[in-house]
Amino acid sequence: CKQPNQNVKPCPNEDIIRKLEELQELHKVKPTEDDHWRVYSYSKSIRALRTHPKRIKSLEDAQKIQGVGKKTAQKIIEIIETGDLQRIVYENTEDVKAISTFTGIYGVGIQTATMWYARGCRTVEDICNGVGDVKLNDGQKIGIEFYDDLNSRMPREEAKAIFELIKPIALRIDPKLFVEIMGSFRRGKSDCGDIDILITRCSDDGRTHEGILKALLEKLHLAGILTEDLALPDYSKPLEAVYHGICRLPDVHGARRRRIDFLTVPWSSKGGALLYYTGDDMFNRSMRLLANKMGYSLNQRGLYAGVVRDPRNRTVKSNIGISITFLLWWNCASILSTGNLIASETEEQIFKALGVPWREPHERVT
Ligand code: DCP
Ligand code: MG
Ligand code: MN
């Protein structure tokens, strides 16, 4: 598919975005509701700034941008005038710094990071040295070994180069496979945090992609493309599998380790999976919310009706003046429609069923 590279042109407010992102990262590891709101509010401002075509020069300029609040506008001015943001210094306390460093390790969430800090760990070295009797699982050990690589985003071109090695290897196993790159790459971003690959296969000829992922992973290890596994698929679900691992461009001196994810789904879920795996996560969240409001449920398998309501929990009140016939019909309808698939084969079907005008992947940012 076409990849409009809307983010490739230089952004006139890049320095402001960098500082706001830095502050946002610090709030991400803090526990209060207020911090969560700040993260959300900064992400709105950052998105708005990314698409703002002109350099911001004044408080008025900043406040006029949709999504930028008054307090953020003041911060923007501080960054423009001083090149810095005092709030970063203020928020960057020892605990926040340490916890934020720890959550940069693959497989470490805020809870684990906070626990390690409480046990006395202040640096990654402390963790490795067993301070506070901290134990690491295999994924976390790999996360530490390649900490810097895995915390840097790759240029779009590198994701493309790696994918273009992988796709033909997959098609050699089965030429009828659907193998596409999803996530930030499909949205046309100029840099990617990882490589997300969706695999499925039309089963009209009676065959499926069962067993393909296992074979593919083996070949990719042999080719030196996959270097470490982080989470292997659950092979008890033959058509629906998730893999997390690490890859790199083989035969390139100094090539960095990159995160890679595979998702396989049944052909009937292709549209649901494309929509989910293209993201971004905020766009997905708003689509799910909309689906729920309409009494539907949206996930990577597709759009379903009836699953949000549990008919058994419905209490019948006799004083609300609804006829018994209607209540019976309503309950039957709920029961009959439990898990009823509304749309899943194509993304277009799902947009249509939700009454949302079509949005190209690069437009799917909220
Ligand atoms: N996704 C989601 N909710 C999550 C995680 C993922 O809806 N909590 C979906 C939307 C994402 C897609 O999966 O776009 C891929 O997940 P990534 O974490 O790889 O995110 P991106 O590819 O969008 O960004 P990045 O460049 O950071 O990898
Ligand atoms: Mg990604
Ligand atoms: Mn991913």
Please write the tens of the pLDDT for every residue from 245-267: 999 999 999 999 999 999 999 99
- Over range 219-225, report the average pLDDT: 98
Backbone angles phi, psi at 187, to 5 degrees: -80, 0
Query: Does 3 have pLDDT greater than 60?
Result: no
Core vs surface per residue 171-185: b (16+ CB within 10 A) or e: eebbeebbbbbbbbb
Residue 24, phi-psi category: left (phi > 0), alpha (psi -120 to 50), beta (remainder): alpha
pLDDT for position 70: 94
Give the residue, by CA position, lying nearest to ligand 1 atom 14: 279
Residue 5 clears pLDDT 80, i.e. is over it: no
Q: Which two tokens stand for residue 125?
A: 């070295």
Nearest residue to 344 (alpha-carbon basis) of 308, 306, 304, 307: 304
Q: What percentage of the chain has pLDDT greater than the value 90? A: 83
For residues 237 and 229, what is the distance between their CA atoms, to the nearest angstrom? 19
307 Cα distance to chain centroid: 24
At residue 8, the pLDDT reads 56
Closest-CA residue, ligand 1 atom 20, reads 183
The ipTM assigned to this model is 0.99
Q: Which residues surround ligand 3, an ion (CB under 5 A)?
A: 194, 196, 261
Mean pLDDT, rounded, of the chain: 90
Q: Which atom of ligand 1 is nearest to the CA of 185?
A: 22
Q: Which atom of ligand 1 is nearest to the CA of 187?
A: 23
237 is catalytic: no
Residue whose tokens read 């196993």: 173
Structure tokens belonging to residue 217: 């992973």
Residue 307, pLDDT score: 59
pLDDT value at position 257? 98
pLDDT tens for residues 196-215?
999 999 999 999 999 999 99
Tell me which residue has its CA closest to atom 22 in ligand 1.
183
Q: How confident is the model at residue 336 (pLDDT cuts 50, 70, 90)?
A: very low
Segment 116-136 shows an average pLDDT of 96
Q: Return the higher-pLDDT residue of 316 and 275.
A: 275
CB 230 within 8 A of CB 245: yes
Return the best residue to mutate from 50, 192, 284, 287 for the ligand 1 pocket (most ligand atoms within 8 A of CB).
Answer: 284
Residue 2 scores a pLDDT above 60: no
C-alpha closest to that of 303 among 321, 284, 320: 284
What angle separates helix 156-173 from helix 212-222, to the nearest 10 degrees? Answer: 120
Task: Give the C-alpha distances (Å, rounded to integers) separating 89 from 34, 36, 92, 156, 227.
Answer: 18, 19, 5, 32, 38
pLDDT tens digit sequence for 22-41: 999 999 999 899 999 999 99
Question: What letters, b where the CB count within 10 A reaches 16 and e where it falls short, cover 39-68?
Answer: bebbbbbbbbbeebeeebeeeebbbebeeb
Percent of the chain with pLDDT over 70: 89
Distance of CA 196 from the midpoint of ligand 2 (Å): 5
Specify the pLDDT at position 365.
84
End-to-end CA, the chain: 22
**Does the C-beta of 156 come closer than 6 Å to ligand 1?**
no
Q: Give me the pLDDT at residue 321, please.
A: 41
The Cβ of residue 161 has, within 10 Å, a number of other Cβ atoms equal to 14
Residue 182 pLDDT exceeds 80: yes
Contact (Cβ atoms closer than 8 angstroms) between residue 247 and residue 314: no
| Reported confidence tier of residue 325, pLDDT bands at 50, 70, 90 | very low
Judged against a pLDDT cut of 50, whether residue 120 lies above it is answered with yes
In eight-state DSSP terms, residue 123 is S
Query: Does the pLDDT at position 225 exceed 60?
Result: yes
Q: 3-class DSSP state for residue 154?
A: strand
Query: pLDDT tens digits for 147-173?
Result: 999 999 999 999 999 999 999 999 999
- Closest C-alpha to 352, from 364, 361, 344, 340: 344
Q: Indicate whether 74 pLDDT > 70.
A: yes
